[in-house]
Amino acid sequence: MSKDTDAIDQVFQLHEEAKRERTQSQKLDQIRVGTSRLTREEQAWADEEEAEAQDGPMTAYHPIQRREDSGTGCLGSMLYTAFVVCVSIILACLGWMAASDMLALNKDNYTATIVLPDSIFETEVVDVTDEEGSVTGHTTVRRADVSYLSSTLKQAGLIEYRWLFEFYCRIAHADEKVRPGEYHLQSTYDYRALIQNMRPNAGSATTVNVTLIEGMTMHEMFVTLERSGVSSYEDLMEAAKNYHFNYSFIANNDDDEENDPLRLEGFLFPDTYNFYTNMQASSAINKFLEQFNNNLTDDTLTRIQESGRSLRDIVNIASMIEKEAADDEERADIASVIYNRLRADMVLGIDATILYIHPEHEGAPNEEMLKEKSPYNTRRSAGLPPTPICNPGLASLRAALSPNQTDYYYYALDTDTGRHRFFTNEDEFNAFVATQNY
């Protein structure tokens, strides 16, 4: 019993001590907020209790807990490091490619000629300001179409990345620095040198004027360019087969196969041109195509659409008119004969188409040529020949778009006048031909 009594006494003793501590704590709180009147002894006791509280621990003890995201460990660090390394390599490669193009590194050395026509430039009036930003006047600025510029340089192989060159142009204000003209540029020029050399008198090169007349074939034009020192016949034919010309009327193969060089026949616009000697073949050809494109006015395109025929068909018909007509006055009548025969499903019977595949032959086709089974033999094959047979001028193109409205189905050369006679039926035609000594 004594042990049980001692245990009960200890419980009561602990209870009394806890109660005394609560009482002291409450009294101390009252003292802090000034809610009781203190004796000197009480004040001393309160100061002692306050000092002991300040000397105690400032914060409650909290055990350190393990972070829930600490499980990533070594694998996460390795993946992050690998990601950073891969991104760095990609950025380094892109930077090297951009720098190589901008600085013209590791490029084959050749010369390309490009043309900047007046049509790609726009004139704008801008304010002139002083150092304080006040407007002091106005000036006229001429700006080039940077998109056309980058496309032309890309086609010539002088740049690789159009977006990068256009970005450089915006920074360097290149659109205000370049000028219309024809420029002889080296493939080793960096971006800055390209801009500097697209100004008048930026460089010098030997030039030559060459006149290509209406009715010349592509073969004849290329021979003329070679004889004038512009480019070799082989290089011109290579460009005709493999170069991608950026015009909708020129067919370009999307794969690695060669193009038919005759895709250019009819579209090499005859005119007098100023060429650089020993210039890039594709640049020389591009001058013809650009001139042809410049003549495709909105009115011309509308009339082509109204005709129900393609541009290539119109050029094909114009090429036959060019070869057959003795003068401008009879072009529209010859056009009417061609259209009348096409509508009647008759063969065209134009000897110039037969002679096209016999460029070395002189005079009228012989009997052997007339019997050939060829799509160019319009004595036997109906419809248009596969390609134009020459490069027509504007007069023939206009006649093909605006033929006279006639009942003519035949025409024949009058050797006395050097012009053609036109007939509505075969009997009259044969009767006239019998009187001529062809």
**With contact defined as beta carbons under 8 Å apart, do 392 and 319 qualify?**
yes
CA distances from 368 to 349, 373, 374 (A): 15, 10, 12
Q: Is 278 left (phi over 0), alpha (psi -120 to 50) or beta?
A: left
The DSSP line for 265-318 is TT-S--SEEEEETT--HHHHHHHHHHHHHHT--HHHHHHHHHHTS-HHHHHHHH
pLDDT of residue 311: 97
Q: For the whole model, what pTM was predicted?
A: 0.58
Q: Is the pLDDT of residue 353 over 60?
A: yes
Percent of the chain with pLDDT over 70: 79
Domains of the chain as residue ranges with CATH? 111-196 (3.30.1490.480), 207-294 (no CATH), 307-433 (no CATH)
Q: What are φ and ψ of residue 186, in 5° steps? A: -90, 145
Residue 287 pLDDT: 93
> CB of 399 within 8 A of CB of 313?
no
CA-to-CA separations, 46 to 30, 53, 105, in angstroms, rounded: 10, 11, 88
- The answer to whether residues 198 and 179 touch, using CB atoms and an 8 Å cutoff, is yes
> What pLDDT does residue 89 have?
76
Q: Give me the chain's average pLDDT, please.
A: 83
Q: What tokens appear for 102 in the block?
A: 């901008």
pLDDT band at 262 (very low <50, low <70, confident <90, very high): very high
Residue 432 in this model has a pLDDT that exceeds 80: yes
Rounded CA-CA distance 244/151 in Å is: 12
Amino acid identity of residue 90, one-letter, is I
Q: How far apart are CA 307 and CA 314, in angstroms?
A: 9
Exposed e or buried b per residue across 250-279, where buried means at least 16 C-beta atoms within 10 angstroms of its C-beta: beeeeeeeebebebbbbbbbbbebebbeeb
pLDDT digits (tens, 9 = 90+) for 200-258: 655 555 778 999 999 999 999 999 999 999 999 999 999 999 888 989 999 888 666 78
Indicate if the pLDDT at residue 64 is higher than 70: no
Residue 310: pLDDT band (50, 70, 90) is: very high
The CA distance from 323 to 350, in Å, is 10
Q: Tens digits of per-residue pLDDT, 394-427?
A: 999 999 999 999 999 999 999 999 999 999 999 9
